[in-house]
Every structure is written in C-alpha cells, then in structure tokens.
C-alpha cells in the first residue's frame, strides 16, 4: 500500500471507527449492507465521463482494506489514479482536492454524531449520517461527480453536498480541476427536492458560479422551482430578482429567452410584494431596461396584476411605470399589451384613487393622455384621489385647467357621464369646475356640449367675481347670459361697466343692471308662456287643449318655441326643453294658483251657505285660507292629486256645505271634505 493510501485509509479508519462501534453506526452499516454487496464486486470505476450510480452500489464495509485497495488499483488501470504518488501534476491537484473533500465530510460526520444524543428526532439524524456515509465512500473512491441514481438519496452528489453546505471554495476547485459536474443534480424527494446546485448558487448570491453555469451551456432545468420551504414556487430567475442579481437576470434572459418569467414564491417574503413577478420586481428596483426588454419580447407579462408594496396597494405595472415617469415603458405597454385594465387604481396610500389618466394629467403628458383615450375610450375621466385636498381633481378637470380643449372635447364625447361639476379643495380658483373653465376660457361650443350632457349644471361655480354669468356678460354672449339666468344664476356682485344699449344708444352700463334687465325680459316671456299654455287650456269651455294637458313633452316644446321666438340669441341645443320646463314650472305654478283659488272660493261658498255674511277681520280670512291650503297639502301627501276644474269644484262644494247648529271650519272637517272630493271611494259630504 502506498504511503498516501495508508494515510487516507488510516484517516478513514480513525475517523469512522468510533462511529461504527456505536449502536446507531452499526444500524446504518447493516442497513447499507443489506441494500448492496461490495462495490468492487459490482462496478468498475470509469472516469472518461460522469457516471450515475445506484445508492446501494457504494462500498459499505470501510474496514475491508483489501477491497478498497483493489478498487483503487483497478481504478488506476483505467487512467484515474486517485491515490498514486508518482502521478502528473493535474492528478496531484485532484488528490489534494479529494483530501479536502474527505476532511470536510468527516468533520460533518463528527458533528452529526456528537449532536445526535441531543436530537429529539433520531430518524432525521440517522438519515443525515447515512447520507454522509454514502458521500464519504464516493469521495474515498474519487467518484467526485457521480450522481446517485436511486434510493432515498437519489439525485444527490458530492457537488450538491458542497453547494448545500456552502463550501463554494471546494466546488470552485472541482471546476478548476475540470471535473465534469452535473449542476442540475438535486434530491428527487424530500425538502430539498428540485433545489439544484444552480438554484443553491443563486440563493447564496454566488454570482460568478451561477454565471459560469450559464456560460458553460450545459443543460440545466432553468424553470425548475423550489418545492418546499419559504421560497417554494420560486425558480432561478425569480431568486435572482429577489436577491437583486440583475446582471444575472439579464444574462439568463439572453441565454434562455423563453424562461418562465411569472414564477414567484407561494408565501410572502420580507420586503417582497406577495405575488410580484420578475417584471414587477425589476420595476420596483428601477431596472427599467429589463422591464422594457420583457415587454418587447414576451407577451405573457402580467401587466394587469396588482401588487401591494409597503406604502401602496393595488398598484399595477402601468401605474408603476407612470408613477416613476417611465413614459417609454408605459407607451410600450399601451401599444403591445392591448388588453389592459386601464381603470385600475391604487387602493391605499397617499395616491389612493389614482389611475393612469390621473398620473398622466398630473405630469401633463397630454400626448399619452390622448393616446390612452384613443386606445381605451372607456378610460375613466372621473377618477379622483380618495382623500386629501386634491379629492375631486379628475383627469377631465386637469385637462380643463391646462386648457387642453381637444382632450376635453374628446373626453366628453366618449363619456357622456363625465362629471362636469367636480372641483377640489386646493383649487387655486375656488370651486372651479370643467364647465367653469370652458366658459371663462370662451370655449362656448364645449360649454354648450356640456349643457347638452347635463342641462342642470352648477352655474354658481368658481369665484364669485368670475362666475359663468359674469363671463358671458363681459364677453357679450347675450344668449349664454340669458341661458344662465334661466338656470337660476344670481346677479353679478360687482359694479363693473360693460357696453350695453339704452334707449337705442350704445353706452357703458353697470353689469348688474344689464343682468336685471335681461332677467325682467325673461320673466315677461315666462308670463306669456304661462298665459298661453295654462290660462288657455284651463278654460272649461275650450276642449281643444285637452290633449296638451296629457302631453308634458309637447307642452315643453311649445314653451321652448315661445322662448326662442322671444329671445332668438339663446342657443338651441339638446336639453334646452328640459331647462325651459323647469324654468317655467308650469305644473307647479298651475297647482299653486289653483289651490289658492280653491281656498278663496271655498271660504266664500262656506260664508254664503251658512249665513255668515258679515265681513270677518283680515287676519281671520288669512288664517282660514292658510288652514285650507295646509289641509290640501296634507291630504296630497297621502293621496296625490291635481287641482283640475272638477277637483276644485268638488272641494269647494264639500267645504262650503251648509252646516246645522253652530257652523265651524275645523281642521278635521276641512280634511274630510278634501278627502271626500279627491277619493272616488268616499262619496258624499263630510258630517260634523
């Protein structure tokens, strides 16, 4: 036996002999002996290529020196003299590496054995010792790159053992010695299933080793994922991303362009958003070149997936790109990934409620704003922050503030439900709305379109000194000024002078005077409409207007035609009829006048039938009339009715009926009289 052989053999004996004498050591040896016979009887060592051997094929009886030496000598015949003394320099380096690996494994065996007495789970410790014994015998036979082909440790090898224990120096020495390593090797079963040498090197941030594995072009399962533990579900690319090895990410994408980019851990990891993919992690770490490459080369990027960061929740990749001002990335997303959740909004944090359009408006990127509306007509222009002094600042309001009228016109054309009355607390022009901005910037066609969308806009918006009515008067927009008066605008507060016509002469006039003059002219028109549509059809002998009473839309059209005939400068638009209907208030005015007329006639009829011809005091008359009007209103709450001629006549007759004894007009009597008049099932006059 050579001196080196003696040293190694004695070292093995000295190291392992105390373990073998223990009961557990004997159990291990017996179990291993049961699985196979001596390795010298079953295999020859072949070194021309990496071999895969059975876990039971390794020599188990380490005290059999003759067999061990015989295997070493036979190995030498095939050109791999692991223990020879007079060998080339390369083999000598290999011999030193073998000694280092043996020393490491022996120290691991000693550690496991010394701690075994304190282990509560003896089975786990026994399994670890059995695994170390196998690895020790592989190292003793200089089978440093063999991978176990079956058994409970199938898929493992000495390189995997070194990587698992972070003995990177020894693994690098194996690479330097040109030992052909299977970097894909990993346990087939157990907690380390699929946890290959390649994955272990990435997790330990051994970038040089991982880069070497990538550059060797050796076959590796790039999409293998960890099956158990806190990183379960992660593949190599995801591990690179969470450990911020971005250079490796770039090299991996270049070498494996079809790698799974949507792998992620099943469980939450510290400082890593749950569910975030590689593209999200790259964006969060400002690796925008990686993000852009993925968007251009992969169609499976999960751009719509919301993730929760430390400060904000519900943020998607387009929102991340817009928030960081990465406009080229956002444009790529818009053009190459058309099925976007364009209305996705941040759900919590300082920017809760912000959408892509909101962020584009804040950064005044109107080119991309217009692109979004072209590609996604349903992109909401009504989104606004959920809280803070900017609540209510919608994308539409931002565009109006910036006087981007082509965008405003496109937005209200695409979205008729756009909020045209919105404003926000920090607005420099307190209470200014999109409608206010359109009027004060003399965008009259856009203002008219807004009124056609919502005829009942708030026309008292903005600062008092710059109300829509004031703007219309100053800019000589008589038609719009009258239109705003129809909507109930208040008179301008200031006494500024504007050019007006007085007695046919152009002269400066106070703005309030002009507004009041036009208001009076409109009031005369309203009287004319009322007289035409109410007093005419309300005559009992005239039945030609009966069909008008039952067609409210027709009445509105007639009223609108009378208004336009009297004031042709008022612009006509879809929705003007609704404004006129509300302004004339025909039904309510008719009911109010009819009810007042009923109170007067009922009191007169009551006095006549009950012989109270003396004139009562004015206060008594007012109280009785108020009693009748209140009773009519009270009955109308439960039994709504319209004061037509027939109903008025019935109420007057039943209140004014002759009473016996001491006649009195009490509240209960009046209410019963009204109910008997308006409810067909209750005929007959009320009795006291």
What are the strands, taking DSSP E only, across 249-373? none
Distance of alpha carbon 140 from alpha carbon 63, whole angstroms: 13
Q: Which of 270, 277, 201, 191 is nearest to 234 (CA)?
A: 277
CA-to-CA dists, residue 90 to 72, 97, 177, 179, 325, angstroms: 18, 11, 7, 11, 57
Per-residue pLDDT reduced to its tens digit, 361-380: 999 999 999 999 999 999 99
- In degrees and rounded to multiples of 5, residue 154 shows phi and psi of -60, 135
Spatial CB neighbours of 398, under 8 Å, sequence gap ≥ 6: 358, 361, 362
CA-to-CA dists, residue 459 to 417, 465, 533, 625, angstroms: 18, 13, 28, 37
Per-residue pLDDT, 681: 59
Whether pLDDT at 599 is above 50:
yes
Distance of CA 329 to the CA centre of its chain: 19
Whether pLDDT at 123 is above 90:
no
**Residues belonging to the chain:** 688
Q: What is the mean pLDDT of residues 634-660?
A: 79
**Three-class HEC string of 556-577:** HHHHHHHHHHHCCCCCCCCCHH
Confirm if 674 and 631 have CB atoms less than 8 A apart.
Answer: yes
Whether pLDDT at 71 is above 60:
no
Is pLDDT larger for residue 327 or for residue 8? 327
Per-residue pLDDT, 23: 43
CA-to-CA dists, residue 272 to 264, 267, 282, 290, 310, angstroms: 10, 10, 12, 18, 9
∠ CA 424-410-335, nearest 5°, is: 100
Per-residue pLDDT, 268: 83
Same domain, 150 and 14: yes
Q: Please indicate, yes or no, if residue 354 is contained in any of the structural domains.
A: no
Whether pLDDT at 356 is above 50:
yes
- The last residue of a domain, from among 134, 164, 182: 182
Q: Please indicate, yes or no, if residue 430 is contained in any of the structural domains.
A: no
Q: Please indicate, yes or no, if residue 90 is contained in any of the structural domains.
A: yes
Q: Please indicate, yes or no, if residue 605 is contained in any of the structural domains.
A: yes
Name the region of 364 (left: φ>0; alpha: ψ -120 to 50; beta: rest).
left
Per-residue pLDDT, 151: 79
Tokens 């939450």 belong to: 268
Q: Please indicate, yes or no, if residue 325 is contained in any of the structural domains.
A: no
Same domain, 547 and 613: no
CA-to-CA dists, residue 258 to 35, 195, 290, angstroms: 42, 21, 14
Same domain, 547 and 615: no
Tokens of 540: 């009992």
Exposure string of 167-177, with b = 16+ CB inside 10 Å and e = fewer, is bbebbebbbee
Whether pLDDT at 413 is above 70:
yes
Same domain, 561 and 601: no
Confirm if 164 and 66 have CB atoms less than 8 A apart.
Answer: no
Q: Which of 249, 234, 241, 252 is nearest to 194 (CA)?
A: 234
Same domain, 580 and 657: no
Beta bridge mates, 510: 497
Confirm if 71 and 40 have CB atoms less than 8 A apart.
Answer: yes
Whether pLDDT at 576 is above 80:
yes
- The last residue of a domain, from among 565, 584, 603: 584
Per-residue pLDDT, 118: 53
Per-residue pLDDT, 538: 52
Same domain, 577 and 591: no
Is pLDDT larger for residue 381 or for residue 126? 381
Q: How many structural domains does the chain have?
A: 4
Distance of alpha carbon 209 from alpha carbon 174, whole angstroms: 12
Q: What is the dihedral of CA 388, 392, 397, 402, to 10 degrees?
A: -10
Q: Please indicate, yes or no, if residue 541 is contained in any of the structural domains.
A: yes
CA-to-CA dists, residue 549 to 141, 307, 546, 555, angstroms: 110, 61, 5, 8
- pTM attached to this predicted model: 0.69
In percent, the amount of the chain with pLDDT more than 90 equals: 25
Same domain, 23 and 106: yes
Confirm if 418 and 396 have CB atoms less than 8 A apart.
Answer: yes
Whether pLDDT at 159 is above 50:
yes
Question: DSSP for 355-386?
Answer: -HHHHHHHTT-HHHHHHHHHH-TT--S----S
For residue 131, the 8-state DSSP code is H
Which range is least confidently modeled, 35-44, 256-265, 612-621? 35-44
Report the run of H or E that residue 190 belongs to, with start and end. Answer: none
Q: Please indicate, yes or no, if residue 309 is contained in any of the structural domains.
A: no
Per-residue pLDDT reduced to its tens digit, 24-60: 444 333 433 333 333 333 333 333 344 444 444 443 3
Average pLDDT over the chain, rounded to an integer: 77
- In degrees and rounded to multiples of 5, residue 499 shows phi and psi of -75, 130
Per-residue pLDDT reduced to its tens digit, 498-526: 666 655 656 677 888 888 888 899 989 98
CA-to-CA dists, residue 194 to 149, 159, 224, 229, 621, angstroms: 15, 15, 6, 12, 99
- The helix, strand and coil proportions of the chain, stated in percent and rounded to the nearest 5, come to 55, 5, 40
Tokens of 247: 């250079």
Whether pLDDT at 317 is above 90:
yes
Alpha helices in 376-476 (DSSP H): 395-401, 405-414, 434-440, 444-453, 468-474
Which range is least confidently modeled, 182-191, 383-392, 405-414, 653-662? 653-662
Q: What is the mean pLDDT of residues 326-343?
A: 91
Per-residue pLDDT, 117: 43
Q: Which of 424, 397, 390, 422 is nearest to 411 (CA)?
A: 397
Same domain, 162 and 17: yes
Same domain, 5 and 153: yes
Tokens of 593: 């006048």
Tokens of 280: 């999200």
Split at pLDDT 50, 70, 90, the class of 533 is confident
Best mean pLDDT range from 158-172, 193-207, 355-369, 421-435: 355-369
CA-to-CA dists, residue 278 to 113, 248, 329, 404, angstroms: 43, 13, 15, 37
Tokens 């997936």 belong to: 305
Report the run of H or E that residue 502 belongs to, with start and end. Answer: strand 497-502
Per-residue pLDDT, 370: 94
Name the region of 575 (left: φ>0; alpha: ψ -120 to 50; beta: rest).
left
Distance of alpha carbon 123 from alpha carbon 130, whole angstroms: 11
The number of beta carbons lying within 10 Å of the beta carbon of residue 163 is 28
Q: Please indicate, yes or no, if residue 651 is contained in any of the structural domains.
A: yes
Same domain, 90 and 61: yes
Per-residue pLDDT, 153: 85
Per-residue pLDDT, 680: 63
- The last residue of a domain, from among 182, 209, 239: 182
Owning domain of residue 472: 464-584
CATH of the domain at 248: 1.25.40
Whether pLDDT at 85 is above 70:
no
Distance of alpha carbon 562 from alpha carbon 580, whole angstroms: 10
Whether pLDDT at 261 is above 50:
yes
Same domain, 89 and 66: yes
Whether pLDDT at 167 is above 50:
yes
Per-residue pLDDT reduced to its tens digit, 143-156: 888 888 877 888 88
Same domain, 224 and 242: yes
The number of beta carbons lying within 10 Å of the beta carbon of residue 310 is 8
């Amino acid at each position: 036996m050579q001196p080196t052989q003696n040293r190694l053999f004695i070292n093995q004996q000295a190291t392992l002999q105390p373990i073998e004498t223990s009961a557990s050591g004997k159990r291990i040896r017996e179990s291993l002996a049961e699985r196979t016979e001596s390795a010298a009887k079953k295999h020859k060592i072949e070194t021309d290529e990496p071999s895969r051997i059975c876990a039971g094929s390794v020599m188990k009886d380490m005290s059999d020196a003759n067999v061990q030496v015989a295997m070493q000598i036979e190995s030498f015949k095939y050109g791999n003299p692991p223990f020879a003394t007079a060998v080339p320099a390369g083999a000598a380096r290999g011999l030193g590496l073998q000694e280092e690996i043996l020393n490491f494994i022996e120290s691991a065996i000693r550690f496991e054995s010394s701690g075994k007495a304190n282990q509560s789970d003896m089975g786990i410790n026994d399994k670890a010792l059995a695994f170390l014994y196998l690895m020790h015998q592989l190292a003793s036979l200089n089978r440093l790159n063999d991978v176990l082909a079956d058994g409970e440790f199938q898929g493992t090898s000495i390189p995997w053992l070194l990587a698992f224990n972070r003995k990177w120096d020894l693994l690098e020495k194996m690479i330097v010695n040109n030992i052909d390593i299977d970097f894909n090797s990993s346990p087939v079963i157990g907690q380390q299933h699929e946890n290959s040498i390649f994955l272990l090197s990435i997790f330990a941030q051994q970038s040089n080793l991982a880069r070497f594995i990538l550059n060797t072009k050796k076959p590796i399962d790039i999409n293998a994922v960890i099956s158990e533990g806190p990183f379960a579900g992660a593949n190599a690319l995801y591990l690179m991303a969470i450990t911020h090895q971005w250079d490796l990410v770039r090299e991996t994408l270049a070498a494996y362009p079809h790698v799974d980019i949507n792998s992620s851990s099943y469980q939450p990891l510290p400082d890593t958003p749950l569910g975030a993919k590689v593209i999200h992690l790259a964006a969060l770490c400002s690796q925008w070149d990686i993000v852009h490459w993925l968007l251009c080369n992969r169609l499976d990027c999960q751009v719509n997936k919301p993730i929760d960061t430390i400060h904000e929740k519900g943020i998607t990749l387009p929102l991340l790109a817009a928030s960081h001002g990465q406009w080229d990335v956002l444009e790529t997303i818009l053009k190459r990934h058309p099925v976007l959740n364009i209305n996705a909004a941040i759900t919590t944090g300082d920017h809760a409620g912000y959408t892509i359009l909101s962020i584009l408006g804040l950064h005044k990127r109107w080119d991309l704003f217009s692109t979004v509306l072209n590609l996604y007509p349903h992109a909401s222009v009504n989104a606004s922050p959920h809280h803070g002094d900017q609540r209510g600042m919608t994308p539409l309001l931002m565009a109006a503030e910036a006087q981007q009228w082509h965008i405003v016109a496109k937005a209200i054309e695409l979205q008729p439900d756009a909020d045209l009355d919105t404003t926000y607390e920090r607005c420099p022009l307190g209470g200014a709305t999109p409608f206010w901005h359109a009027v004060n910037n003399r965008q009259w066609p856009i203002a008219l379109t807004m009124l056609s969308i919502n005829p009942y806009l708030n026309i008292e918006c903005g600062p008092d000194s710059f109300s829509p009515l004031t703007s219309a008067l100053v800019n000589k927009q008589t038609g719009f000024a009258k239109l705003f008066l129809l909507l109930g605008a208040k008179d301008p507060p200031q006494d500024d002078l504007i050019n007006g016509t007085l007695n046919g002469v152009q002269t400066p006039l106070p703005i309030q005077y002009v507004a009041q003059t036009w208001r009076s002219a409109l009031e005369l028109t309203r009287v004319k409409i009322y007289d035409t549509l109410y007093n005419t059809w309300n005559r009992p002998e005239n039945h030609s207007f009966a069909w008008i009473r039952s067609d409210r839309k027709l009445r509105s059209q007639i009223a609108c035609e009378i208004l336009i005939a009297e004031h042709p400068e008022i612009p006509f638009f879809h929705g003007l009829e609704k404004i006129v209907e509300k302004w004339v208030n025909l039904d309510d005015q008719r009911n109010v006048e009819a009810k007042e007329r009923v109170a007067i006639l009922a009191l007169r009829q009551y006095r006549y039938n009950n012989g109270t011809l003396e004139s009562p005091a004015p206060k008594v008359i007012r109280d009785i009339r108020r009693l009748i009007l209140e009773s009519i209103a009270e009955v109308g709450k439960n039994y709504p009715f319209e004061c037509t001629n027939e109903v008025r006549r019935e109420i007057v007759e039943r209140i004014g009926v002759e009473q016996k004894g001491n006649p009195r007009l009490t509240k209960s009597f009046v209410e019963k009289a009204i109910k008997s008049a308006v409810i067909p099932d209750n005929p007959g006059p009320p009795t006291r």
